[in-house]
Structure 1
């Protein structure tokens, strides 16, 4: 149960996202409201809501904003959001999965399709790329939590399936069903996680360089910037030297 995987490209995208904090807060609020509406408005009794609140805290979202988003779920003015998944290909043949929460399916579909086409990608049919990914639970801890051995030992004891550790932090993978039981076990041993979520893990990676890498990151950034898009998953592997050129 070991593993090393460089996530520099994800960190590069996170850096770009941090500059758009208000848009990020809006997406976090939407997920909190949807999670609270689908279950109980209590994070301790609603696993998805708890994960959403943890993600919001990790981005330093004010407590008042989090509470308002929870309360909005029970209000008469609460929007009805629909969860939609889009699949397609980016430059260099990279497979992409885009998850959205929308109150207007036509608007979101048009926007996502336009972003793909303008940035060297193409949108595919449902199932066209997801067969190359595993649907898993993902628990993330910062590097400051401890060394790889400490996190690995806790993960094994907590019932996780795999762990990846590098200079950027630790990623603990679980089955979908075990996500929140493992997260709870790890919290007792390592403290509160940076994030807890369902994720799409690629079974193989595609290395991209040069113009393909530049255009791919532009495509993924453009998707991240769309108000309806919550998460973007890909099987890209951008070498460090390429990221340094782009940075």
Structure 2
């Protein structure tokens, strides 16, 4: 198991998401509705819905908003969303995976392609970069959940694969099929997590210099601003001093 944190670079920065809470809530609501439509409206019987609700709670989404999103799934809503994954390369050869929920594939594809082309990237075909990632479960805890040794012990006993800790918090990685079981066991030991999700973890990361990092983050921000985009994953690693200079 690892003890050094790289996960803050794997998914788009939470700080930027926090500044766009309304947009974030909209995306979380969409995921909850789709999850409820595809399975039972009871999170105890629908693992995907439970994941979506846990993610919403981690972002302090009000209970009423969560319930409305669940109710929308059985309300005969004319909107019908489908899951789409886009893959491509950003500045510096960084591999990016963009997960989206859309009711219009043509609109979303055009927006994603434009974002890549205007920010030093190239949109590829499905499967063009996914081979460089593992599909795993990711459970996130704040630093206050415990010191690295405490969290490591709890993660090992719960059957996790890996842990990455830093001053910001703890990222616990599991096999995708073990995510719910490990998350449940950890909740008994460490309390409710900040996030529980399926994730794309890169097998190799790319170190970014300041010039390429600045352009890359503009690309990621542009993608994240799109209403249809749910999550942006990448194999980039940006040194802390570079992030500070970029603000």
Name the TM tier (shorter chain).
over 0.9
Match of 2:170 in 1: 170
Matched, 1:230 2:230: yes
Question: Is the contact between residue 92 and residue 208 of structure 1 (CA under 8 Å) also seen in structure 2?
Answer: yes
TM-score, normalised to structure 1, is 0.97
For 1:32 and 1:11, locate their aligned partners in 2 and report how far apart those are by CA, in whole Å.
Answer: 20
Say how many residue pairs are matched: 247
In the TM superposition, 1:115-130 aligns within 5 A as 115-130=115-130
For 1:64 and 1:122, locate their aligned partners in 2 and report how far apart those are by CA, in whole Å.
Answer: 40
For 1:111 and 1:4, locate their aligned partners in 2 and report how far apart those are by CA, in whole Å.
Answer: 36
Question: Is the contact between residue 7 and residue 168 of structure 1 (CA under 8 Å) also seen in structure 2?
Answer: no
For 2:8 and 2:160, locate their aligned partners in 1 and report how far apart those are by CA, in whole Å.
Answer: 24
Matched, 1:136 2:136: yes
Q: Deviations over 1:32-74 (max 9, x none)?
A: 0011111111112211111111111111111111000000001
Unaligned runs of 5+ in 1: none
TM-score, normalised to structure 2, is 0.97
Unaligned runs of 5+ in 2: none
Match of 1:90 in 2: 90
Q: 1:118 to 1:155 in 2, by over 3 A?
A: same
Q: Report deviation, 1:94.
A: 0.4
For 1:2 and 1:139, locate their aligned partners in 2 and report how far apart those are by CA, in whole Å.
Answer: 15
For 1:224 and 1:11, locate their aligned partners in 2 and report how far apart those are by CA, in whole Å.
Answer: 11
Match of 1:67 in 2: 67
Q: Tell me which stretches of 4 or more aligned residues in structure 1 moved more than 3 Å.
A: 6-12
Match of 2:203 in 1: 203
Question: Is the contact between residue 8 and residue 240 of structure 1 (CA under 8 Å) also seen in structure 2?
Answer: no
- Aligned to 1:134, what secondary structure does the other structure show? strand
In the TM superposition, 1:43-62 aligns within 5 A as 43-62=43-62
Matched, 1:114 2:120: no
